[in-house]
Structure 1
């Protein structure tokens, strides 16, 4: 590869980086707005509920791995969610000494409310887009997420397991 071609790739990466940072900021603002649903969990804890709803009960360590975070962080967040009645601890049928975390009915209801609110917001945001452009965006984001996970060496990506969070 020539130095010019390499520089062109870096220039394109810079343009993409600028737009990704802008997207992340706007999505963070939207996430804060959408997390104001009455009865909702702290928006940083919501991925826990979504993962448990979409993938089923799991141990704290497996949840931490799925969410690419530390066990201590998940432990603290799940304790709060248990106190709020959004998730519960269940005996692990494979190991009586361990417990699994699972969403409660209230947690599932909250997940659905948040998902519906997010979907209404996205539909309103994209209402003037051509259907083909929306499909193309979905395909490109899916591809980007797969490549990001691969490049990060992510052993597990819950979004690739049918998560609709």
Structure 2
């Protein structure tokens, strides 16, 4: 049900109503993305979607230790370790000696990992291009700016209130 059709609680202002509409649209978007990903735990290149996030981080930000990688994606080190092992077996990530500490290793994308990343990025960009082909370029650029701003604020809020309850309700709640 569209949350804009539900009665507002007494005493709310227009900002609350706009926040309610925004929350509803965000949940719709998250559900649509989840439906699109359903049944696609493994991409066409054989990479688990969850592991692909790690590969992307290594390509975009460069080599790093496993614990730093886990921290950067807000994931458990043991989960990241399992996913990295699969990426290493697939030849997409390699372990290199850490030049700052000979006892440690860095994880780095291989040339094949970079190729897979670029192929996935191209596929994603073509899908987004097709979805928004009927939009004018000014609207596409404005959406990028607004999503960047919203995501940054969300990340900063999450960092400052990590111990509090989640900001967004689970999809079932709306």
Q: TM-score, normalised by structure 1?
A: 0.83
Q: Deviations for 1:108-150, whole angstroms, at most 9, x for unmatched residues?
A: 1110000000011011000000111111101000100110111
User: Which of 31, 40, 58 is equivalent to 1:52?
Assistant: 58
Identify the structure with bigger relative contact order (alpha carbons < 8 Å, sequence gap 6+).
Answer: 1
The Cα shift of 1:69 comes to: 1.3
Partners of 1:40 and 1:137 lie apart in 2 by 31
Structure 1 match to 2:124: 118
Structure 1 match to 2:133: 127
1:34-73 equivalences under 5 Å are 37-73=43-79
Match status 1:153 vs 2:159: yes
Q: Deviations for 1:14-68, whole angstroms, at most 9, x for unmatched residues?
A: 2211111111122233345887653241111111010000110000111111111
Partners of 1:32 and 1:77 lie apart in 2 by 20
- Summarize the Cα distance change of 1:59–1:35 in structure 2 as closer, same or farther, 3 Å threshold: same
Q: Is the 8 A contact 1:61 1:71 kept in 2?
A: yes
1:4-23 equivalences under 5 Å are 4=11, 6-23=12-29
Structure 2 match to 1:74: 80
Task: Identify unmatched segments of 5+ residues in structure 2.
Answer: 1-9, 161-174
- Summarize the Cα distance change of 1:97–1:147 in structure 2 as closer, same or farther, 3 Å threshold: same
Q: Is the 8 A contact 1:40 1:110 kept in 2?
A: no
Task: Identify unmatched segments of 5+ residues in structure 1.
Answer: 155-165
Structure 1 match to 2:102: 96
Q: Is the 8 A contact 1:34 1:117 kept in 2?
A: no
Partners of 1:35 and 1:133 lie apart in 2 by 32
Q: Is the 8 A contact 2:43 2:49 kept in 1?
A: no
List structure 1 runs of 4+ shifted beyond 4 angstroms: 31-37
Q: Give the alignment's Cα RMSD to 1 decimal.
A: 2.0
Give the paired residue count: 151
